[in-house]
Each structure stands twice: as structure tokens, then as C-alpha cells.
Amino acid sequence: MHRPAIFAIALASSAAPAAAQQLRGFGSSTAVTVGEPWVLPKGVTVLEPLVSQNMFDSENCKNADEKEQRNPPAGETGLVTLCLPIRYERDPFSDPIPHTVTIPQGLTFIPEDRLKYQSGFNVRKITVIIKPGQTILLPISVTCINPNRKSNTNLPGVFYKIGPIVKNKQMEEVFQMTAKYEIPFYDSALGNAISTIGRGNKSQIATAMDILRAHMETWPLAKP
């Protein structure tokens, strides 16, 4: 006699939208981020461990042939500031063709002490060309995904390693939405949206996205 009511409750439960979930390694999660590995061109490696640097002192992560100061660093301005050494182990005489290396959106950077320091997340694709036998020092500034942990922004010498590429449908939408814009150096709205998506609170995500859209109205278009 009570089966129709029970059946109706079951239908209502199955029709309810699933709650957003916090991604592993984001927010207060102590787990390691999960995703695809970053596959580099043959012969190209990243020399680990990576070391944090003062974001206003890129002179410590500068190639010998560079004359001008590199400020701000490549990528979205965030609280995880690193020096990325990229090496192409090839003989320039027998194999003179350079490689294009792309640091993908969603690539994570994990501190050796990940319970103390913030992990990083790259939100803008960065492309560099590297020649055989060359090592490039690339200062990058990526968004943090653990705001409750310690920042390395003005704390050089914190060791990091390359993590996986984290893919998420909402993040992909944000990447596409913002791709044609230049992000002002001090504007953290994009990084905040990504961090909030990772933490998985649906109402906070909606608020963060509204803030991002409002900020985008003032952003200049990217140069072709």
C-alpha cells in the first residue's frame, strides 16, 4: 500500500541534480591532484625540483642572453611563483631543429610540503621555443588552489615538482571564455574562479563566475 509513495520519493531523489564536489588537491583537500601527465617533446625535460621565487625579482630566473627585466612573469598572476628550468638534451649540430614547448592550462605544481604550502594551477597556456642543447629559465606565476595554506609569493626557496593536468568541464568553459582577453597584472578574478570551482561549492562558484564576468568587461582584448 505504501509502495507508490516510496517509488515517488525514489524518483525525486534520482531527478535531483548532483551536488558539486571538491576536486582532489583543491581547497582543504590533503590528497594529491589527479589528472593526465604532461607529455613533453622528445628530449625536452623540466629540471626538478622547481624553486619558488619572489614574484618581483625575476632577475634570479633570467637567462644569460636576456637584457631586459622580465616583469611580470609569464602566465596568470597568482600566489605560486616559480622558476621553471626547461632543458632540451640534443646535440645542436646533429639535430639543429628547435622544439615548441607548451605549458598547458590545468597543469598543477605540487610543493614538497603540500600540507604547508599552496599548490599551483596554470590557467593560461604558455608557449616557448627551445633550441637543442639549450636550457631556458622561465619565471611563472600561477594561481593557488589552497588558499588556507602558506603562500610562497615572497618566500624564495620552496621546492616544487610538476603535477598532473587537471581537467574539469567548468574550468574548460572558463578557459574558453577568457582566452581572447589580456588579464591585467593585478586582477585575480580568473584565478579565484578556478580555485572556487576546485573547491566545489555551487553557490560560491556562481558568485565567483559573476565576479569574473564583471571583471572581463574591463579587460583589453589580447593582441593577435
What are the sequence ranges of the domains in the chain?
20-216
The torsion of the CA quartet 107, 108, 112, 113, rounded to 10 degrees, works out to: 170
The 10s digit of each residue's pLDDT in 93-119 is 677 789 999 999 999 999 999 999 999
Q: pLDDT band for 196, please (50, 70, 90 cuts).
A: very high
The 10s digit of each residue's pLDDT in 125-156 is 889 999 998 999 988 888 889 988 988 777 88
Q: How far is CA 217 from CA 110, 122, 177, in A?
A: 33, 22, 12
